Amino acid sequence: MNTIKYKIFALCLGFSMVSYSNLAQTKKAAPQSYTLEGNIKGLADGTIIELIPGATHSSENAVAETTSKDGKFSFTGKLKEPRLFYLSFGKNKGYIPVLVENSKIKVTAETEALKENERINFKNEVVTGSKSNDYFKKETAFREDLNNDYVAYHKGTEEISNLYAKARTSGNKKQMDSIGNSPEWKKFEADEKAFFAKVQSSSENLIAKHKATWWGPFFMLTQYSYFTPDQKPVFAQFSETAKKSYYGQLVEKEVNPKSLVGTNFSNFALNDKDGKAYNVKDIIAGKKYILIDFWASWCGPCRKEIPNLKTAYAAYSDKGFEILSISIDKDQKAWLKALGQENMQWHNLLDDNKVSNAFNVKTIPATYLVDSKGIIISDNLRGAALEEKLKELLKS
């Protein structure tokens, strides 16, 4: 072992002048900025193209904008480390994701048949000149297998899914129970559980593999659409270098959000499952305390907390306590399905992104206990902690 080490050391010494010379040339040649050139066949002249930051879990504004001429456009800039951007065409009518680094990058594609005011779809997309983009595609190629698995376990379930949806919409619990107990539905649920277990395993392995670099927190942001407290240990495994990276700092803010206790929340309105708008001030009128609960159908910890909310609601709703649950679901059907399963006896509304952002919701479940004046007096009360707080506040 030592002999090999000394041989390597001697070789390094022998070529020190050449190595230093090559290193200097490499450093000198390393690009300090990027040029992103696009050539999209079929793109109309004058189409607005924006460069929008991606992998941030937030609605981002464009950092640059240009227009197309003969299908061509370009962007230039400087980056401290690679960043994901979306090329947005025609004011959000179509997107091409690109991992941009300081290099000369080229993007080519063809637009499919276009109609006025419709989405711009692309085919034959090719990105060259970005090693980060190449690596990203290689490391996430497993998604294609997951997509195939998703299609496979849904195949042949369309009829029973439609029947269940109709029963839920009409409030026919007897029919819902009948379908839910059928062998076909039980197999579907088992396949669905196995699918999401595979998704979780694939994501966790991808992130753990890159815990030493910025790729780790970057993959956290791309693999999870939202964080729950379960992701705190995932972030904790990262190296200091990874945590201090651009994406590492974004994840840090999400898994350890700033407390809003002591602040006053603004009034807002959201829709319920029937599309009816409710004003939060009207919901809490005459109540002493309201628990604003952010959750989602796919959030396991959120669903596990619902029985605790039901217990608290049953014990204190007649003493001035109210609950308002706000789902951050993007899939309304999944939300409606969860509502039918959970049978919560308080207002349930669907988030519009603005409300969760106003509450600085970065992980779920997220709860905020608000008094009659609209002041947030406590947050993240769950289980026994919620019971104890309500007992203290409503002891009279």
Query: What letter does residue 381 receive in the DSSP assignment?
Result: -
Peptide bond into 82 cis (omega under 30): no
Domains and CATH numbers, the chain: 34-130 (2.60.40.1120), 142-239 (no CATH), 269-393 (3.40.30.10)
CA distances from 215 to 110, 159, 211, 258 (A): 30, 42, 7, 25
3-state secondary structure of 37: strand
End-to-end CA gap in the chain: 76
DSSP structure class, residue 54: -
Write down the pLDDT at residue 202: 94
Are 67 and 50 in contact by the 8 Å Cβ rule? The answer is no
Sheet containing 347-350: give its strands across: 277-279, 269-271, 347-350, 321-327, 289-295, 366-371, 376-379
Cross-strand bridge partners of residue 278: 270
- Token pair 């919560």 is found at 344
Helix (H) or strand (E) holding 257: none
Contact between 230 and 299 (Cβ < 8 Å): no
Rounded Cα distance between 325 and 297, Å, is: 12
Cα–Cα–Cα angle for 38, 130, 51, rounded to 5 degrees: 45
Nearest residue to 345 (alpha-carbon basis) of 317, 303, 304: 317
- What is the pLDDT at residue 116? 63
Residue 9's pLDDT is what? 35
pLDDT in tens, the chain (396 residues): 433 333 333 334 343 334 444 444 445 567 899 999 999 999 999 999 999 999 998 878 899 999 999 999 999 999 999 999 999 999 888 999 999 999 999 999 999 866 666 889 999 999 999 999 999 999 999 999 999 999 999 998 889 988 888 887 777 888 888 988 999 999 999 999 999 999 989 999 999 999 999 999 999 999 988 888 888 999 999 999 999 999 999 999 888 878 889 988 888 899 999 899 998 888 888 899 999 999 999 888 899 999 999 999 999 999 999 999 999 998 888 999 999 989 999 999 999 888 988 888 888 899 999 998 889 999 988 888 999 999 999 875
Q: By the 8 A CB rule, do 123 and 109 touch?
A: yes
